Chains A and B, each alone.
Chain A
């Protein structure tokens, strides 16, 4: 065989391998029909996406949802980065505080969805008659407590935020860094509101002394606690409940002084060329049917007229313990100052003990 022939054969063979790999990839992609496709950006959990989509599409024939999902921080950063050339039509299921940042950048379209009068006041953007976002459900800070590890270490079960200051917990607590996690920030903002600014910082000074480390993601403390890495993590209920259902020896504790909380909300992007379809998504998001779907993962819902049931293994009384009123406006305006102060106090000595 000549060298050239051989080369060609080798090249063909490698092309064939890569080509068939590409073909496998291509085969897995069905094309979409002539329906209106709305691009929906979201931070809801993966497993919530199929039921939400199915329910919406069943109620709104002719409109199809195309999800773009990522964690809260990534999707917000992406929406902001795309500011000059909007890609999303609707945001369905993103932290209200993130939507407020988008709103400050003038990126949201005001719209009052059907059934708006049934939305609780706390879940409304009450600044104007044309709200730019509408709440869906609430999640609140919580303590994830690993009963097996706590017993090994002889740690009592905490019931309040102040309990966590007991020196017995030194080195056994993790929480999210408020600079990288919205959940971390809502806890910090809540302490400053519950205890007052001065006492709040004093509280965090003392808590810092007991802190093992600060994580990047908001659900990480609970997950690490579920895997027995630490006995106590400050996080929120949802990941804890999920881990309990998976078999983790966890308890989700709601401290009695009050809970910082945040809501998932829906908004229409300004400038969307599919305004009508986008409004349908906003309408559906505020509907009884959608609220019942939210109730499968969350206890506190936006609508007054939906009787919330307690999801399996979900801690009771979350509704009563929510910090009220929760001053989102204040938290949003002072966010940078709070983070700078936090970073100054706990960031620089933010070193592990090795």
Chain B
């Protein structure tokens, strides 16, 4: 996301210290307003049950059934683990995930350090470039890597005889895909630093290396762990990159595909889907424990860190991050080149004909407008649900257990791979007798599915923003007898507006690129550009698939640009309170 997401953590340290600590609290009786809140929380819980819990349950129950729907316990799992080819996929998946995570975190850390701890030039530009991979459908890096390193690739020689189709390709593609996610977390982590620690270290004449090892690294270790977990989960469950560039190197996500799409074995697909969930749940648990400790680390009296110019270091980091940014742009740029070449690699004359989607068949630009419509709906409705939901779990009183479990539920979607969520939706919403069945085959189910799929990161952003709003506001408005909704609308929402805009643009961008979760539930009237790109590639028209990907990137980039302008203007006008 943008600066605004990254800002809260810094702002947190600048928060006015409620001098004198916590005032004694008298627990009031639940007022009418509290009951409204509790009602809203119950509604939110129902929403989660319908859009997340029940669909997943419907799918996972399949892992314990045979093809005729009889309960057979763990027999499917036994069969799975007896098959060496399938268990090999576990080893493969763990291997590429681990290596990919280490490389991503290493690069993202250098980049984040350059952005937050140095005074290098071009920081704004470099930050914007680093987020570019978020705008691209996962098909694009795969195709670009084939153009770059395939057997006809421009830089094939760099692989020294190794094949891009397989672990190497998967790892490069995943690093591209996961880089901005890691960067966002690490920038936030590195932004939180206490100037006083550095001043103390300096006055003790510690060497820069020693300061780095004893102050900087420990200070962001939680961010590192958190980023590592998120990246590991992302790579572990991703399907788009290995599908295009994985060759015959099987990973769990492509196994789900082979079981379900190749052999129509939903039960085994559910088994693999469950395995995909498992490590993600573990990493999530670790992340939660770590997050909890993080809170204690921050002191309200900390002085925000201000980087001082260090010419040599600044220049070194400018070079390092420029190289990384150039590599990211190279991958995207290659996809663009692929979309304007007549016939790779035999006729390199430039052409725009691949952008004429009407010649491909019936759909033409229709799917593009469907995608816009869907993404806009997801952005508007999703933001409202996510923000209100986060507000309720953060700020309401009572129903503590329920609020905690809602918070937990909001974390689950991050761990659910798209294809698993998509299947879960088809089984749940198209079950005969489901009163919600009418949304099947409409745009609505795509919107609901996409909001669910990308819920977690949005929720975390909203929570981070809400944590900055002192609980005193609610207390004060309560004592002034101002209705809660007015405080919400007049204080909470304006203060959190940057985060709210961030959430909506994040949802928009992801809705434009989503594929695996919606491929089972779109209908003839709601076909999306991202799905069209996959099908076009499947039909052999790689150039047009690149063109569609580029149209998605361009659209998201334009909206992202508008969003940045809006945020910048707003930060000047309404967020002045953040500055010291």
Contacts and interface: CB of A to CB of B under 8 A. Distances in A.
Contacts of A181: 262
Interface string B171-182: 000000000000
A50 B358 CA distance: 11
Interface stretch (A122-130, A192-200, A339-347): A339-347
Interface string A57-82: 00000000011111101101110111
A77 B162 CA distance: 35
B92 to A, nearest CB: 8
Interface string B528-551: 000000011011101000000000
Interface stretch (A13-21, A257-265, A279-287, A309-317): A13-21
A25 B426 contact: no
Interface in B336-366: 342-347, 360-363, 365-366
B283 interface: no
A68 B519 CA distance: 12
B85 interface: yes
Contacts of A74: 261, 519-520
A87 B85 contact: no
Contacts of B264: 73, 76-77, 80, 101
Contacts of B566: 10, 13-14
In this complex, the member of A18, A50, A69, A348 whose beta carbon has the largest number of chain B beta carbons within 10 angstroms is A18
A84 interface: yes
B494 interface: yes
A2 B535 CA distance: 51
A249 interface: yes
B478 interface: no
Contact of A7 (B266, B423, B574): B574
Contact of B372 (A7, A21, A67): A21
Contact of B427 (A45, A50, A81, A354): A81
Given A179-B263, A247-B343, A352 B165 contact: yes
A118 to B, nearest CB: 29
B138 interface: no
In this complex, the member of A216, A226, A336, A339 whose beta carbon has the largest number of chain B beta carbons within 10 angstroms is A216
B248 A352 contact: yes
B430 A46 contact: no
B123 interface: no
Nearest to A227: B344
Contacts of B250: 347, 350
B321 to A, nearest CB: 29
A219 interface: yes
Contacts of B538: 71, 217, 219
B369 A348 contact: no
Interface string A217-253: 1010011001111100000000100110011110000
Interface stretch (A26-34, A135-143, A159-167, A321-329): A26-34
B403 interface: no
Interface in B532-576: 535-536, 538-540, 542, 559, 562-563, 566, 570, 573-574
A243 B346 CA distance: 12
Nearest to A25: B373
A77 B520 contact: yes
A200 to B, nearest CB: 20
B493 interface: yes
Contacts of B6: none
Contacts of A333: none
B497 interface: yes
Given A67-B362, A248-B346, A347-B85, A81 B520 contact: yes
Interface residues of A, number: 83
Interface residues of B, number: 86
Interface string A70-104: 11011011101110110100000000000001000
A53 interface: yes
A25 B262 contact: no
Given A46-B535, A80-B266, A181-B262, A343 B497 contact: no
Given A15-B380, A239-B540, A68 B258 contact: no
A42 to B, nearest CB: 10
B316 interface: no
A191 interface: no
A348 B430 contact: no
Nearest to B343: A247
Contacts of B497: 7, 10-11
Contacts of B362: 46, 49-50, 53, 67
A353 B85 CA distance: 17
A48 B85 CA distance: 38
A337 interface: no
Contacts of B523: 68
B108 interface: no
Contacts of B490: 4
Contacts of B540: 219, 222-223, 226, 239, 242-243
B151 interface: yes
B84 interface: yes
B547 to A, nearest CB: 15
A69 B519 CA distance: 11
B195 interface: no
Contacts of A215: 247-248
Contact of A73 (B85, B262, B493): B262
B508 interface: yes
A70 B535 contact: yes
B254 A216 contact: yes
A350 B87 CA distance: 12
Contact of B167 (A71, A230, A354): A354
A180 B538 CA distance: 13
Given A80-B266, A247-B347, 6 more contacts: A3-B574, A21-B376, A25-B369, A81-B266, A347-B250, A350-B249
7 contacts: A66-B525, A77-B260, A80-B266, A213-B248, A219-B538, A352-B163, A352-B165
Q: Which 9 pairs between the two chains have the least Cβ-Cβ distance?
A: A25-B373, A46-B361, A347-B85, A180-B262, A352-B166, A73-B261, A28-B369, A22-B376, A7-B494
Interface of B: 83-85, 88, 146, 150-152, 162-163, 165-168, 243, 247-250, 254, 257-258, 260-264, 266, 342-347, 360-363, 365-366, 369-377, 379-380, 423, 426-427, 430-432, 434, 437, 440-441, 490, 493-494, 497, 501, 504, 508, 519-520, 523-525, 535-536, 538-540, 542, 559, 562-563, 566, 570, 573-574
